[in-house]
Amino acid sequence: MESRAFELIAAEQARQNNNIELIASENFVSENVMRAVGSCLTNKYAEGYPTERTSGKTGRYYGGCEVVDQLEEYCCDKWREVFSTDYHVNVQPHAGSSANLAAYFSVLKPGDTILSMDLNNGGHLTHGSAVNFSGKLFNMVFYSVTENGFIDYDDIEKKAAEYRPQLILAGASAYSRIIDFKRIGAIAKAYGAYFMVDMAHIAGLVAAGMHPSPFGIADIVTTTTHKTLRGTRGGMIFCRPELAKKVDAGIFPGTQGGPLMHAIAGKAVTAEEACAPAFKEYIAQVLKNTRAMCDTFISLGYDIVTGGTDNHLFLIDFTRTHPTLSGKDVQNELDRHGITLNKNCVPGEKRSPAQASGVRIGCAAMTTKGWKEEDAVACAKRIHEIITALAAK
Ligand SMILES: Cc1ncc(COP(=O)(O)O)c(C=O)c1O
């Protein structure tokens, strides 16, 4: 049977094979993750939770769930093993955004105050953007970064004292440094706020022990499974055991219907892979490659937000070095050369987010393709040539 859809899938496969992929939130999953996500599990309705999970009361709303019950329990156990935690986990969120929506609803009411990281400085849409449910439903207040782009912990304390938020949120989409969860957690405790960490970007580093863990500090931890964790597209929520019922109710029936059991199968395979020793080696190589690439840009005279990186990404700020170029110009030009990345706002941004004055670069995906430090250095030099030619036009 001829299928336009499969023609397009083949075209996208070719694009993924040929391009250099530097989008910090992307990765390439294993064949086994693909097999799980493309399996018969997509056929099964399983609204609710495995029966044992919540004192036997909730259960599933459909018959025939004896296998998926075991799969979901196994998936949860495996993720607790990945993060060496006894936190409760809900593996049903369809995405990181759905995880955040349900997490907020589990402990907050509309109109409550959330203190989160300023979106222009690295926060995510679901951390309070005016065009997102978070900004429409909650009273959002933001902490800032210092002039150099580091999280301003004193500002968190100041804003917590001033606004008395019900929840303080840590975590970002574009922040290249270690986040001090202990310090933010202590501020949340002092002001009686819930402490939530959205570790979507750095979850793979946390799993590998290469970023401090939020477990034991945060009340709620949300994540995606498809960035540095290198798994199927999806979300998860972890919480202290005493919040389990609220978090589960926040997902179902609060914000979702039937879980995507094929995605849960994919998450289980992802967890198996994250437990294997090879995953630690992978994350260690991601960090080496990112550092090598970032250092090359520094030696070529570029300004890097915060002056460097501790994780899988970094941000280049063109404001001083290439004032006529926007992040969008650079993104488009690199696209023409088969290099994929995204424009990004920088601290003190003067342009609109649609233009931006910087780009975000991540090495998680290309490390999966086998990159070593010399490949990262060569790519930085190639990008420099392309940017130099573009600026001279
Ligand atoms: C920190 C953070 N949280 C949440 C999300 C949302 O994840 P999703 O795109 O799966 O909804 C992202 C996505 O980039 C993110 O960076």
Question: 136-189: per-residue pLDDT in tens?
Answer: 999 999 999 998 899 999 999 999 999 999 999 999 999 999 999 999 999 999
Which burial class, exposed, middle or buried, applies to 161 when counting CB atoms under 10 A from its CB (0-12, 13-18, 19+)?
A: exposed
Domain boundaries, the chain: 31-275, 278-392
Q: Give the number of the atom of ligand 1 that is nearest the alpha carbon of residue 234.
A: 10
User: Average pLDDT of 10-37?
Assistant: 97
User: Average pLDDT of 37-44?
Assistant: 97
Q: For ligand 1, is residue 120 a contact (CB within 6 Å)? A: no
DSSP symbols for 263-303:
HHHHHHHHHHHHHSHHHHHHHHHHHHHHHHHHHHHHHTT-E
Which burial class, exposed, middle or buried, applies to 202 when counting CB atoms under 10 A from its CB (0-12, 13-18, 19+)?
A: buried
Determine the residue type at 336: R
Looking at residue 48, the DSSP 8-state letter turns out to be B
pTM: 0.96
What distance in angstroms lies between residue 124's CA and the mean position of ligand 1's atoms? 7
Q: For ligand 1, is residue 203 a contact (CB within 6 Å)? A: no
Q: How confident is the model at residue 61 (pLDDT cuts 50, 70, 90)?
A: confident
Angle separating helix axes 277-299 and 373-392, nearest 10 degrees: 40
Say which CATH superfamily domain 278-392 falls into: Aspartate Aminotransferase, domain 1 (3.90.1150.10)
- The string of pLDDT tens digits covering residues 175-228 is 999 999 999 999 999 999 999 999 999 999 999 999 999 999 999 999 999 999
Q: Which helix (H) or strand (E) holds 131?
A: none
Annotated catalytic, 233?
Answer: yes
Annotated catalytic, 369?
Answer: no
What distance in angstroms lies between residue 200's CA and the mean position of ligand 1's atoms? 6
CA atoms within 13 A on the CB side of 133: 12
What distance in angstroms lies between residue 96's CA and the mean position of ligand 1's atoms? 5
Distance between CA atoms of residues 229 and 205, nearest Å: 8
- The string of pLDDT tens digits covering residues 329-376 is 999 999 999 999 999 999 888 999 999 999 999 999 999 999 999 999
Q: How confident is the model at residue 53 (pLDDT cuts 50, 70, 90)?
A: low
Which residue among the candidates 44, 159, 227, 291 is catalytic per the annotation?
Answer: 227
- The string of pLDDT tens digits covering residues 286-323 is 999 999 999 999 999 999 999 999 999 999 999 999 99
Which residue among the candidates 60, 233, 267, 343 is catalytic per the annotation?
Answer: 233
Nearest alpha carbon to residue 53 among 76, 19, 27: 76
Whether residue 274 contacts residue 118, with contact meaning beta carbons closer than 8 Å, is answered with: no
Q: What integer pLDDT is reported at residue 139 of this predicted model?
A: 98
- The string of pLDDT tens digits covering residues 63-104 is 899 999 999 999 999 999 999 999 999 999 999 999 999 999
Q: For ligand 1, is residue 230 a contact (CB within 6 Å)? A: no
Nearest alpha carbon to residue 235 among 134, 36, 132, 97: 97
Q: Give the number of the atom of ligand 1 that is nearest the alpha carbon of residue 226.
A: 10
Least confident interval from 116-120, 180-184, 201-205, 230-234: 116-120
Place of tokens 């150099």: 148
Place of tokens 């987010």: 353
Q: What integer pLDDT is reported at residue 55 of this predicted model?
A: 47
Looking at residue 116, the DSSP 8-state letter turns out to be E
Q: Which residues touch 201 (CB under 8 Å, ≥6 apart)?
A: 24, 25, 171, 172, 173, 175, 227, 228, 311, 312, 313
Nearest alpha carbon to residue 316 among 302, 332, 296, 331: 302
Annotated catalytic, 72?
Answer: no
Q: How confident is the model at residue 119 (pLDDT cuts 50, 70, 90)?
A: confident
Annotated catalytic, 198?
Answer: yes
Report the residue among 100, 126, 199 best suited for mutation to probe ligand 1: largest number of ligand atoms under 8 A from its CB.
Answer: 126
Q: For ligand 1, is residue 26 a contact (CB within 6 Å)? A: no
Distance between CA atoms of residues 231 and 69, nearest Å: 21
Annotated catalytic, 385?
Answer: no
Q: What integer pLDDT is reported at residue 57 of this predicted model?
A: 54
What distance in angstroms lies between residue 173's CA and the mean position of ligand 1's atoms? 7
Q: For ligand 1, is residue 296 a contact (CB within 6 Å)? A: no
Q: Where are the beta strands (DSSP E) in 175-234?
A: 194-198, 220-224
What distance in angstroms lies between residue 224's CA and the mean position of ligand 1's atoms? 6
What distance in angstroms lies between residue 64's CA and the mean position of ligand 1's atoms? 33
Task: Output Rg (C-alpha) for the chain, integer angstroms.
Answer: 21
Q: Give the number of the atom of ligand 1 that is nearest the alpha carbon of residue 95.
A: 10
Whether residue 386 contacts residue 379, with contact meaning beta carbons closer than 8 Å, is answered with: no
Q: For ligand 1, is residue 95 a contact (CB within 6 Å)? A: yes
Sign for the pseudo-dihedral over CA of 257, 262, 268, 273: negative
What distance in angstroms lies between residue 163's CA and the mean position of ligand 1's atoms? 26
What distance in angstroms lies between residue 83's CA and the mean position of ligand 1's atoms? 19
pLDDT at 52 over 70: no
Strands of 235-239's sheet in order across = 88-90, 235-239, 220-224, 194-198, 167-170, 113-117, 139-143
Pairing assessment for the beta strands 235-239 and 88-90 based on DSSP bridges? antiparallel
Annotated catalytic, 227?
Answer: yes
Q: What is the CB neighbour count within 10 angstroms for residue 155?
A: 16
Q: What integer pLDDT is reported at residue 1 of this predicted model?
A: 64
Whether residue 96 contacts residue 126, with contact meaning beta carbons closer than 8 Å, is answered with: yes
Report the residue among 27, 169, 173 best suited for mutation to probe ligand 1: largest number of ligand atoms under 8 A from its CB.
Answer: 173
CATH architecture of 31-275: 3-Layer(aba) Sandwich (3.40)
Q: For ligand 1, is residue 231 a contact (CB within 6 Å)? A: no
Whether residue 135 contacts residue 186, with contact meaning beta carbons closer than 8 Å, is answered with: no
